[in-house]
Amino acid sequence: MDFLFIQFLNGLSSASSLFLVASGLSIIFGVTHITNFAHGAFYMLGAYVAYTLTEAWMGAIGFWGGIIVAAGTVALFGALIEIILLRRIYRSPELFQLLATFGITLIIEDLVIQVWGAEDLLGRRAPGLDGAIDIFGQAFPTYELVLIALGPICLCALWLLFNRTRWGVLVRAATQDRMMVSALGVNQAWLFTGVFTLGVFLAALGGAVQIPRDAVHNAMDLQIIVEAFVIVVIGGFGNVLGAFLASFIIAELNSFGILLFPKISMILMFIVMALVLVVRPYGLLGKAETHARTALGNVVRPLAPLTRKAKNWVLAALLVFLILPIFADDFVLNVGSEILIFALFAASLHLMMGVGGMVSFGHAAYFGLGAYGVALLVKFLNMPMEAAIVIAPLLAIAGAIIFGWFCVRLSGVYLAMLTLAFAQISWSIIFQWDDVTGGDNGLLGIWPSEWASNQQAFYYMTLVIVIAALYAIRRIIFSPFGYTLRGCRDSLLRADAIGIDRLRIQWFGFVLAGSFSGLAGVLYAYLKGSVFPDYISIPLSVDGLVMVLLGGIQTVAGPIIGAGVFKALSTIIISHTEFWKIILGAFIVILVVAFPQGIVGFFLERFGSKEEDIAEEKQ
């Protein structure tokens, strides 16, 4: 009994830490609709700045003052980023802000190493709170008690702020209905800045209070960001109380779960999230939005068949790819194959999120399942490449059929997070099932058949398969099915009113996207010769999103160009400097500001066919 109580307290202190970060993220998303990927980076910055300040300032006042000042400093930094960068792109397609904050994260990660060094830092213990007190005969750290109190204190402070101040009431109103607030004549820009600053403050505070119990290190951001998102989704976006409840549930389940299943913490929160979303599609306390937000990729400009000029460009590009082996060395062909594979991966994601309006944060799941499909066929059946390429995608398809059935029942960011949950669950199975998947050491020796083993032959094989798949995707997009999928995205009401079974169509679209992604994974496995859990992990899903958004979500060609640019760029930069994060990050931020429609979207707008051209072409 005593032990259970202590374990309960342990859960509470973890819950508080989670809540601080998650509440900030929830508030930011609720009002500004920014999917703030940089939230973890602000958390990390909070810890680093607090480390510096608490080392410099002495005593209890120095310590707590340092923590507050650190959170405030980082909050100001966040405000600056909001004003300088995010303000410019609120009008861009949704999720574009995700891309910007992803770029910021990369930059901050490198900056932190430059400023504070690469090694872990050990922060000071809180003066007077470095000991333990006796609870039922167990030593319990005093500082943890402070943390336990901090969660509810913050919750109350936020409640007072949102219910007892005019600013807070406006923020709440904005969470429910943005249009109304601007109709009331409130300066929306400053409201957003304020909310973003508050959110960043909470994140930085969450990071700063970790220094007496954790090491300060440069991977803190990635540790927390996904967890924070999961908490926010379980609680319901924009709902602070929901985030509190979710933090409590997750932390306590973990605290007691490890007693029975010591390996559970790896996957626990994703299982909880999947279960919650299946039962409550808007999280525990979230509500369906009053005004349906326009789905991603919803645009005025219709998808148009290629103009003659565009056709010539495509043919020219194809020709370049065809004759590339004549003058390129093996390494260029290797990178070329990789770019082609990722073009297919990005195009499949675009089919799902651009055409289908279903954003996926877990598209790597199908890529990885395809890759592991090959690896397992080779390992257990010794299957030749020709057969494995055909059969392996079935594993990805099976995954998409099961996951998709659940996912299409949700919408918006909840759908996206459920795809993430399924991806993480798949990842965890692959990561832990050593006997079959080789665990994190992966499966080796998946090399192409003899005839395709030289780089040139493999390149041509990849080229043929990818071009065929891309052509198929394009045909699907312009087929009745593709139109129907797009229709479900544009207007559910209208789709329903002309006899379209939305769930079935989206499910089918989901599975198709998963299949093509799986095919890309299959080719990738043969390109690299081995498979690892990395191929199904979150960073790969994020890469996919970046490619699609970078290229432009509104055109069929966008994701393909985006994949090419992103992959080529990162390969070149990584090959030449280990400071690639800061360069790539800056590059992404610049692109986001310069090309708010994506690269292809920009060129279309600038040089592309106008409405009249489209009409002309069609007659």
Least CB distance to another protein at residue 519 (A): 16
CB neighbour burial string for 594-603, b if at least 16 within 10 angstroms, e if fewer: ebbbbbbbbb
Structure token digits, residue 84: 């300088």
**Shortest spacing between CB 225 and another protein, in angstroms:** 12
Q: Give the whole-angstrom CA distance, residue 157 versus residue 169.
A: 14
- Residue 352 DSSP class: I
Angle CA 273–152–74, to nearest 5: 85
Q: Helices 308-327 and 455-478 sit at what angle, rounded to 10 degrees?
A: 170
- Identity of the residue, 237 or 535, whose beta carbon is nearer to another protein in the bound complex: 535
* Residue 542 near residue 98 (C-beta atoms within 8 A): no
Q: Which is nearer to another protein, 195 or 359 (CB)?
A: 359
**Using the rule CB under 8 A, is 411 a contact of another protein?**
no
The only residue of 162, 271, 491, 603 in contact with another protein, by rule CB under 8 A: 491
Where in 220-279 is the site for another protein (CB under 8 A)?
220, 223, 251, 254-255, 258-259, 262-263, 265-266
What is the Cβ-side half-sphere exposure of residue 441, based on CA atoms within 13 angstroms?
A: 5
**What's the DSSP call for residue 534?**
G
Nearer to another protein, 28 or 423 (CB): 423
C-alpha pair distances (Å), 571 with each of 333, 339, 343, 558, 577: 13, 10, 15, 20, 10
Contacting another protein within 167-226 (CB under 8 A): 212-215, 217-220, 223
Asked whether 248 and 8 are in contact (CB, 8 A), the reply is no
Distance CA 187, CA 194 (A): 11
- CB closer to another protein, 188 vs 570: 570
1, 179, 183, 300: which one binds another protein (CB under 8 A) = 300
Residue 439 interacts with another protein (CB under 8 A): yes or no:
yes
State yes or no: residue 329 binds another protein (CB under 8 A). yes
Query: Nearest distance from residue 164's CB to another protein, in Å?
Result: 30
Q: Binding to another protein by residue 444, rule CB under 8 A? A: yes
Residue 367-406 contact track with another protein, rule CB under 8 A, x = bound: ----------------------------------------
CB of 345 to another protein, least distance (A): 12
C-beta closer to another protein: residue 6 or 391: 6
Tokens of 415: 């759908």
Least Å distance between CB 111 and another protein?
8
Say whether 136 sits in a helix, a strand or coil.
Answer: coil
Q: In the complex with another protein, which residue's Cβ is closer, 202 or 582?
A: 582
Q: Is 307 left (phi over 0), alpha (psi -120 to 50) or beta?
A: beta
Among 478, 568, 569, 602, binds another protein (CB under 8 A): 478
In the block, residue with structure tokens 């499910």: 507
- Binding residue (CB under 8 A) for another protein from 52, 176, 188, 298: 298
The interface with another protein within residues 115-134 (CB under 8 A) comprises: 115, 118-122, 130-132
Tokens of 149: 């109190």
Contact 575, 97 (CB under 8 A): no
What does the DSSP 8-state code read for residue 209? T
Please list every residue from 504 through 523 that binds another protein, using CB under 8 A: 505, 508
Of 177, 330, 386, 450, which lies in the binding site for another protein, with binding defined by CB under 8 A? Answer: 330
Binding to another protein in span 2-41, by CB under 8 A: 3, 6-7, 10-11, 13-14
Residues 41 to 100 in contact with another protein, rule: CB under 8 A: none
Cβ count within 10 A of residue 252: 17
> Measured between alpha carbons, how far is residue 317 from residues 27, 144, 161, 419, 468 in Å?
46, 61, 57, 34, 15
Chain position carrying tokens 């590059």: 587
571 exposed, middle or buried (CB, 10 Å; 0-12, 13-18, 19+)? middle
In the set 183, 279, 320, 493, which binds another protein (CB under 8 A)?
Answer: 493
Interface residue with another protein among 87, 172, 280, 301 (CB under 8 A) is: 301
Q: Does 613 bind another protein (CB under 8 A)?
A: no
Among 52, 138, 176, 182, binds another protein (CB under 8 A): 138
Residue type, 290: T
Count of residues near another protein by CB under 8 A: 117
Smallest distance, Å, CB 160 to another protein? 29
Q: Kindly state whether residue 326 participates in binding another protein, applying the rule CB under 8 A.
A: no
Give the relative orientation of helices 220-235 and 412-432 as an angle to the nearest 10 degrees: 130
Q: Which stretch binds another protein (CB under 8 A): 26-34, 107-115, 174-182, 599-607?
A: 107-115
Kindly indicate which of the ranges 151-159, 271-279, 394-402, 476-484 contains the residues binding another protein, using the contact rule CB under 8 A. Answer: 476-484
Closer of 198 and 567 to another protein (Cβ): 567
Between strands 121-122 and 132-135, the pairing is unpaired
> What does residue 531 show for φ and ψ, rounded to 5 degrees?
-125, 145
Considering only CA atoms, which of 18, 30, 19, 24 is closest in space to residue 413?
30
Tell me how far, at minimum, the Cβ of 217 lies from another protein, in Å: 5
Residue 487 as a binder of another protein (CB under 8 A): the answer is yes
Closer by beta carbon to another protein, 34 or else 216: 216
What is the contact mask toward another protein in residues 554 to 593, using x (rule: CB under 8 A)? -----------------x--xxxxxxxxxx----------
Query: What are the beta bridge partners of residue 135?
Result: 138
CB of 349 to another protein, least distance (A): 17
Nearer of residues 192 and 229 to another protein, judged by Cβ: 229
Element (H, E) at 204: helix 188-208
Supply the minimum distance, in Å, between the C-beta of residue 290 and another protein.
9
Residue with tokens 């071009």: 467
Q: Measure the CA–CA gap between 45 and 39, rounded to whole angstroms.
A: 10
Minimum distance from residue 613 beta carbon to another protein (Å): 11
* Contact status: 482 vs another protein (CB under 8 A): yes
